[in-house]
Amino acid sequence: GSSDGEALDSAGIMREHTYRIDVDGIVWFGDEWYEDPVVYRAFFDNLTRTSDGRLHADCLGERCWIEPEDAPFVVQGIDIAGDGSRATLVLTGGIEETLDPATLEVGRDSVLYAKVKTGAFRARFTRKAYYELARHIAPKNGAFVLELGGKAWAIAGAPPP
């Protein structure tokens, strides 16, 4: 390798690999899938979008191109604070991030999404995570809203109730 710790091939070029993330949030490399939370944390911590919109994470000195079938992150579960004031998204790999309710939106096929990493990337809700959050969603003033901590956030793209 080089002095800065990057994994270089014999021509001195950083090695590159392509990983796929399916709609359930599973990371695939060819026909192999990964369940190690370390892989998910590395991708979450290092994910970057190129100027042409492609996604990559530089991990262990290698360029890992990320090709999500839908969103690069998937919400597997929701933890609602005991006082109901906030919700924490539990992403694949056990990664936790506080939900920003203002970023909730309904996409095609009625799939729920939120933004993560300070709004930089979309996270797709699994059906299980959606149902966990739905207990706090109600129709109000002709829209569906998420109610947390005495506040209500309209969900973008949701059809009228």
Q: CA-to-CA distance for 110 and 149, rounded, in angstroms?
A: 25
Look at 89 and 4; give whichever has higher pLDDT. 89
Determine the pLDDT at residue 60.
Answer: 80
Q: CA-to-CA distance for 50 and 151, rounded, in angstroms?
A: 36
Q: Which CB contacts under 8 angstroms, 24+ apart, belong to 139-143?
A: none
Give the pLDDT mean for 51-67: 94
Determine the pLDDT at residue 17.
Answer: 94
Average pLDDT of the chain? 90
Determine the pLDDT at residue 1.
Answer: 34
pTM of the shown model: 0.87
Q: pLDDT per residue over 131-148, tens digit each?
A: 999 999 999 888 899 999
The percentage of the chain sitting over the pLDDT mark of 70, rounded to a whole number, equals: 92
Strand locations in the chain (E) = 16-21, 27-29, 32-34, 47-49, 55-59, 62-68, 73-80, 87-91, 96-98, 105-106, 112-116, 121-125, 137-140, 143-148, 151-154
Determine the pLDDT at residue 7.
Answer: 56
